[in-house]
Chains A and B, each alone.
Chain A
Amino acid sequence: MATMLILGAASDIARATALAFANDGWDLILAGRQPEILDKIATDIALRSGRRVKTAHFDALRSEEHAVFWQGAEEEVSALFCAVGLLGDQEKAQADMDQATAILQTNFTGLLPILSLAANTFEKRGRGLIIAISSVAGDRGRASNYFYGSAKAGLTAFLSGLRNRLAKKGVDVITVKPGFVATAMTADMALPIKLTATPKQVATDIVKAARKKHDVIYSRWFWRYIMLIVDHIPEKIFKKLKL
């Protein structure tokens, strides 16, 4: 059976999505920075789904290691799903370039080497699947999270270009833009209940997108319309809003 490599696999969204893919028939390699948690998740998913689930070490901030990492996985992997992300501390980032850099690297630049390596392999092979989680925050910059937002905007644009390049090569590229999701990342925020998805709902949306080969999905679906409105607010007004 085909194997999917999942980066940032310890995240709540990734865990739920990994289980949904396993139930859909995928074997998995769960990669991330916390081996103990990854092992627990791998055992859990293997027991629930009956699929084969392995773990591997991956750190987006160590891009110099990505080539070796990819070499080790390349042969068996036919799909890559990237859930790595860091919301970070916006206020801190405004004054502290280390924080700003961490946000940019984790959400954008640090992911480009591994995404490119996978893209090249899949292109050569003439088939493959790349899914990455961006965010609605990348659709328009806001005062409260524009370091995160601009990094996600970069990722969105990168994925769009990658899709354009690989469309004729049998490789699918899917951009996932979640709105609010109740996870560890947002545990301390008071999110509006009606607009907030569970990781399981996002997982269902992602697996469906993979089956139907969608290009860009919002999760939940209504965020497409919320963002359509947000995008069309004239800058003159937008800049005065408290967002």
Chain B
Amino acid sequence: MKLTSWGKYPLIETTLASPANEALALAALEGGGALIGRGLGRSYGDSALNDHLVLSSLRLNFIESFDEESGVLVAGAGVSLAEILDAFVPRGWFLPVTPGTKFVSLGGAVASDVHGKDHHVAATFSRHVEWLDLWTPATGLIRCSDTENSDIFHATAGAHGLTGFILRVALRLQKIPSAFIKQKMVKTGNLDAIMDTFERYAGLPFTVAWIDCLQSGKGLGRSIFMGGSFAEKEELPARYRLRPYQPPSPKALAVPFDFPSFALNSFSVKAFNAFYYGKAPKELKKSIVSYNSFFYPLDSIHNWNRIYGRRGFTQYQFVLPKETSVFGLADILKTIAESGQGSFLAVLKLFGKQPVFDGNISFPMRGYTLALDFPITKKLFPLLDRLDAMVLECGGRHYLTKDARMSGEVLRRGYGPALGDFLAIKKRLDPEGRFVSLQARRLGLV
């Protein structure tokens, strides 16, 4: 069958298997041959694709236990973050870390070791994982955690499926005072101002900014900063105070067909400008919004990736160490603005400290990360090659879950010796290199 991921590029011919239970999944794993795990296909590029066999976790979708004391939830790798929210927000629990969409699987969240708006206080998803059940060719089914088979655990978080197949995840949820966020928005006129704003609001658990990539000169880095924290019950408007865990449900919109390519940009430009030039004061305090609109603004438009049309798109996400961020980001933003190719809006975030473990290749490091969408065109890849060089020069690196085109050399230089340590563990767990994605092959990881 034909298969692709969120960026709709590449589109390949392959076999997708969705075993209905653990025994069938183990049989498929023990069957031999090349394969890669897959969840909800929200990675943008080719990390969940393989032309031989793609093994889906989606039918391993049982919630198995929940401990009201510790907040530890045990569930199959195919359970989505959206399902966890549906079940546990009404009882006052939330995810410890969430990406910008809730339509990702537990397995995918671990495999990409995803980060959220709270990276500066909570680090990545795997830091909140109590343990995993993983299958690897060398060990068979094995439980691993920070304390048990920790080398395997650390190599698996962020490995993009290359160490084995995740069957089950034990995740610690966090208790919340309500399902609403106290949101703060700040308009900032340039790069210095947005960086100051991130520092000033570092005490807030959730921070992120939309940055206007078409600006150069004085307005370079013009942004809207958004910070937030969960609202206490007493802070809610009266109509929500009685039911603090039941925010109004988001209205679903669907994009019914592949849009012509220009639509999304004009859509987001309007929203950004409406706010930026609107009457709102420079610093907007205390708007109370539901968790859905704060964390998942795009999820209410199903299949928004179709807005980019049939050719597909790619997301380019990198992180620069904090020391080089000021100059590095300025140069990179200038290059993008001059190329006239970038998406109008990009997401900027200041990562906090990321714990370091042997063999771990999770993406974040302390510093600024920028994520932007590019529609796929002929002119795009040469531009991205130039950006790659600039990122490396600053000591930065790229996020594999967004990547569909980088070279092995760029990956190696970005991740440095950690990559070698990772590959050594991969070799031990998977000596014949059975777990292989198109991305891993392109990057020379197998």
A residues with a Cβ closer than 8 A to B are 37, 40-41, 43-44, 47-50, 184
Leading 7 A-B pairs by shortest Cβ distance: A48-B87, A44-B62, A47-B63, A44-B63, A40-B62, A47-B66, A48-B63
- How far does the alpha carbon of A220 sit from the alpha carbon of B114 in the complex, in Å? 36
Count residues of B near A (Cβ-Cβ below 8 Å): 12
Report the bound CA distance from A37 to B60 in whole Å: 12
Q: Say whether, besides A50-B91, A184-B20, A44 and B64 are in contact (CB < 8 Å).
A: yes
Asked whether, in the complex, the Cβ of A48 is within 8 Å of the Cβ of B64, the reply is: no
> How far is A16 from B414 in the complex, measured between Cα atoms in Å?
45
Choice from A43, A49, A50, A184 contacting B62 with Cβ under 8 Å? A43
How far does the Cβ of A184 sit from chain B's closest Cβ, in whole Å?
Answer: 6
Whole-angstrom CA separation of A173 from B197 in the bound complex: 62
The CA-CA distance from A41 to B20 in the complex, in Å, is: 13
Is B30 an interface residue, CB under 8 A from the partner?
no
B234 within 8 A of A: no
What distance in Å separates the Cβ of A113 from its nearest Cβ neighbour in chain B? Answer: 30
Instruction: List residues of chain A with CB within 8 A of the CB of B87.
Output: 47-49
The answer to whether B64 and A43 have CB atoms under 8 Å apart is yes
Contacts of A47 in B (CB 8 A): 63-66, 87
Q: Is the CB of A43 within 8 A of B91?
A: no
Least CB distance from B4 to A in Å reads: 15
Across-interface contacts of A43 in B (CB, < 8 A):
62-65
Is the pair A48, B83 in contact by a Cβ cutoff of 8 Å? yes
| Cβ–Cβ < 8 Å partners of B64 in chain A | 40, 43-44, 47
Q: Which residues of A contact B331 (CB under 8 A)?
A: none
- Does B86 sit at the interface, judged by CB under 8 A? yes
CB distance from B27 to the nearest CB of A (A): 16
Cα separation A239 to B62 with both chains bound (whole Å): 45
A41–B91 CB distance below 8 A = no
Residues of B at the A interface (CB closer than 8 Å) are 20-21, 62-66, 83, 86-87, 90-91
B102: shortest Cβ distance to chain A, in Å?
15
Q: How far is the CA of A47 from the CA of B21 in the complex (A)?
A: 19
Least Cβ–Cβ distance between A75 and chain B, in angstroms:
30
Which residues from A are CB-within-8-Å of B90?
A: 50
Most buried by B among A40, A41, A48, A184: A48
Question: CA separation between A37 and B20, bound complex, in Å?
Answer: 11
B391 to chain A, nearest CB (A): 40
Q: Which residue of B lies closest to A184 (CB)?
A: B20
Kindly report which residue of chain B lies nearest to residue A40, judged by CB atoms. Answer: B62
Known A41-B62, A43-B63, A43-B65; 4 more pairs at CB < 8 Å:
A37-B21, A43-B62, A47-B87, A50-B90
Question: B86: which A residues are within 8 A, CB to CB?
Answer: 48
In this complex, which of B20, B62, B64, B83 has the most chain A Cβ atoms within 10 angstroms of its Cβ? B62
Docked Cα-Cα span, A184 to B20, in Å, equals 8
A34 to B274, CA, bound (A): 58
Cα distance A50–B20 in the bound complex, in angstroms:
25
Taken together as a complex, chains A and B put the C-alpha atoms of A47 and B173 apart, in Å, by 14
- The CA-CA distance from A37 to B86 in the complex, in Å, is 23
- What are 24 A-B residue pairs whose CB atoms fall within 8 Å in the complex? A37-B21, A40-B62, A40-B64, A41-B62, A43-B62, A43-B63, A43-B64, A43-B65, A44-B62, A44-B63, A44-B64, A47-B63, A47-B64, A47-B65, A47-B66, A47-B87, A48-B63, A48-B83, A48-B86, A48-B87, A49-B87, A50-B90, A50-B91, A184-B20
Closest residue of chain B to A48 (Cβ to Cβ) is: B87
B114 to chain A, nearest CB (A): 22
Give Cα A48 to B90, complex, Å. Answer: 10
A residues in contact with B21, CB < 8 Å = 37
CA distance A12 to B303 in the complex (A): 24
Q: Tell me the smallest distance from the CB of B106 to a CB of chain A, in Å.
A: 14
What's the least CB distance linking A15 to chain B, in Å? 10
> Which residues of chain B come closer than 8 Å to A37, judged between CB atoms?
21
Min CB distance, B334 to chain A, in Å? 45
CB distance from B187 to the nearest CB of A (A): 41
Residues on B with C-beta less than 8 A from A48 are 63, 83, 86-87
Q: Which residue of B lies closest to A47 (CB)?
A: B63
